[in-house]
A and B are shown apart, each in its own frame.
Chain A
Amino acid sequence: MSSEIGKDLVWRVRLGPLSIAFNPLTLATALGVALLLLLLGLWLRRGIPRDPEARPSRRLVLLTAFLEFVDRQILGTMEEKTKQNLLPFVATLFLFVLASNLSSLLPIPGLVAPTRDLNVTLGLALLVYAFCHIYGIRTKGLLRHGKSYLEPLPVMLPMNLVGDLGRTLSHAFRLFGNILGGSIMLAVIFPILVDLVARFRWILGILFLLVGLVALRALWRRGKKKAFYALGLAWLGALVLLVVHVWLPVLWVVPAAFLIGTGAGVVLNFFFGLFSGTIQALVFTLLAAAYIQMAAE
């Protein structure tokens, strides 16, 4: 797994003088996510009752809750009019980035999050950048929007241009770096943990037995005879296993490695996949909304 870091599947397509390289897995996953979101949107839309006075359906409530979340948490304290204009774009962006980040959690071999590819995040950042300009021109007019680059002084024009470039680049790199870093951490930590368990199985086994001894002593002192005998039997069994292990490592190592590996996998995937993916999607959208709002002012 860790030997695959930094190596991606790349297809090259020649179009006359142009040579295009892309990762088919990323492209397929991104399109799959988009298709899934489209189907979700259609399904939710069909659940909206025709009659606005009717009792709201479950899907309508779900949709309202989501849009309210975007409205309150991401758009925050903007003016009502700006909010209305930005809501569809920002909600779509959030859903796409979130679904892309979480897609790596699906147990499909070879599947990687599309946002692990710089091309995808850079494309999204450029989309936000273009939206900034379009929105700025539409709200303020071409002249005033262009003039905002000469503020506070005309001398600051190069600074403003460099600021634009750096902002867009860091917007793309932030999402890409976080998702790639998380996946590298997963790929590196997981085999190390399993290897450690296999290597220090003796110490782990003796620790386990010591903890059992302490628990048995506490049970004996409190006078819980039944529990003491049951646990004592299990403890003797573990001791036998540890001794038998000299001849049959499979009995001890494989269950322990499996248990600890699964537990660590759940925890690591939860942190680097679910938690980090959601936070990064939120950050990406929050920053996009802030940039667009700045362009509109």
Chain B
Amino acid sequence: MEIGAELVQGLKYLAAGICMGIGAIGPALGEGRIGASALESMARQPEMANTLLRNMIIADAIAETTGIYSLIVAIMILFVV
């Protein structure tokens, strides 16, 4: 393998790592907030826990979307491009 191809390969790994690492920050913060608020509300109104859990999972899934997108992009950088 010549030096240019090796460089490209290395940069690909770097790009995938940066993409996944930065992309994971947003969902982590968002899901943390959602979980904290949901727990707070559950502690305040335990009888609402079932409904809150359901809505929390939906909100988590939506907050997670950007993280999933960055995973897809990282996988595409590694295996497709």
Return B72 CB to nearest CB of chain A, in Å: 6
Whether A287 lies near B58 (C-beta < 8 A) is yes
Give Cα A47 to B50, complex, Å: 31
Return B45 CB to nearest CB of chain A, in Å: 15
Chain A-chain B contacts (Cβ-Cβ < 8 Å), number: 44
Q: Is B64 an interface residue (CB 8 A)?
A: yes
Give Cα A177 to B73, complex, Å: 10
Return B61 CB to nearest CB of chain A, in Å: 4
Q: From residue 238 to 272 of chain A, which have CB atoms closer than 8 A to chain B? A: none
Give Cα A290 to B58, complex, Å: 9
Which of A177, A178, A283, A287 counts the most B-chain CB atoms under 10 A from its CB? A177
When distances are taken between beta carbons in the complex, the residues of chain A under 8 Å from B71 are 177, 180-181
Q: Is A52 an interface residue (CB 8 A)?
A: no
Give Cα A178 to B75, complex, Å: 12
Q: Is A174 an interface residue (CB 8 A)?
A: yes
Whether A283 lies near B57 (C-beta < 8 A) is yes
Nearest to B71 among chain A residues (CB) is A177
Give Cα A159 to B21, complex, Å: 30
Give Cα A180 to B50, complex, Å: 29
Q: Is A279 an interface residue (CB 8 A)?
A: yes
Q: Is B39 an interface residue (CB 8 A)?
A: no
Given contacts A174-B64, A177-B68, A180-B75, 10 further A-B contacts (CB under 8 A): A5-B79, A76-B51, A77-B51, A170-B68, A173-B72, A174-B61, A176-B72, A177-B69, A287-B58, A290-B58
Q: Is B54 an interface residue (CB 8 A)?
A: yes
Return B44 CB to nearest CB of chain A, in Å: 19
When distances are taken between beta carbons in the complex, the residues of chain A under 8 Å from B79 are 5-6
Whether B68 lies near A286 (C-beta < 8 A) is no
Give Cα A74 to B69, complex, Å: 25
Do A6 and B75 form a contact, CB below 8 Å, given A76-B51, A173-B68? yes
Give Cα A181 to B74, complex, Å: 11
Q: From residue 32 to 81 of chain B, which have CB atoms closer than 8 A to chain A? A: 50-51, 54, 57-58, 60-61, 64-65, 68-69, 71-72, 75, 78-79
Listed in ascending order, the chain A residues whose CB lies under 8 Å from chain B are 5-6, 72-74, 76-77, 170, 173-174, 176-178, 180-181, 279, 282-283, 286-287, 290
Whether A73 lies near B68 (C-beta < 8 A) is no
- Indicate which residue in A173, A180, A290 contacts B69 across the interface (CB closer than 8 Å): A173
Return B51 CB to nearest CB of chain A, in Å: 7
Give Cα A128 to B48, complex, Å: 28
Whether B54 lies near A73 (C-beta < 8 A) is yes
When distances are taken between beta carbons in the complex, the residues of chain A under 8 Å from B50 are 72-73
Whether B78 lies near A287 (C-beta < 8 A) is no
Give Cα A290 to B61, complex, Å: 12
Whether A178 lies near B51 (C-beta < 8 A) is no
When distances are taken between beta carbons in the complex, the residues of chain B under 8 Å from A290 are 58
Nearest to B55 among chain A residues (CB) is A76
Whether B64 lies near A286 (C-beta < 8 A) is no
When distances are taken between beta carbons in the complex, the residues of chain B under 8 Å from A174 are 61, 64-65, 68
Whether A76 lies near B54 (C-beta < 8 A) is yes
When distances are taken between beta carbons in the complex, the residues of chain A under 8 Å from B64 are 174
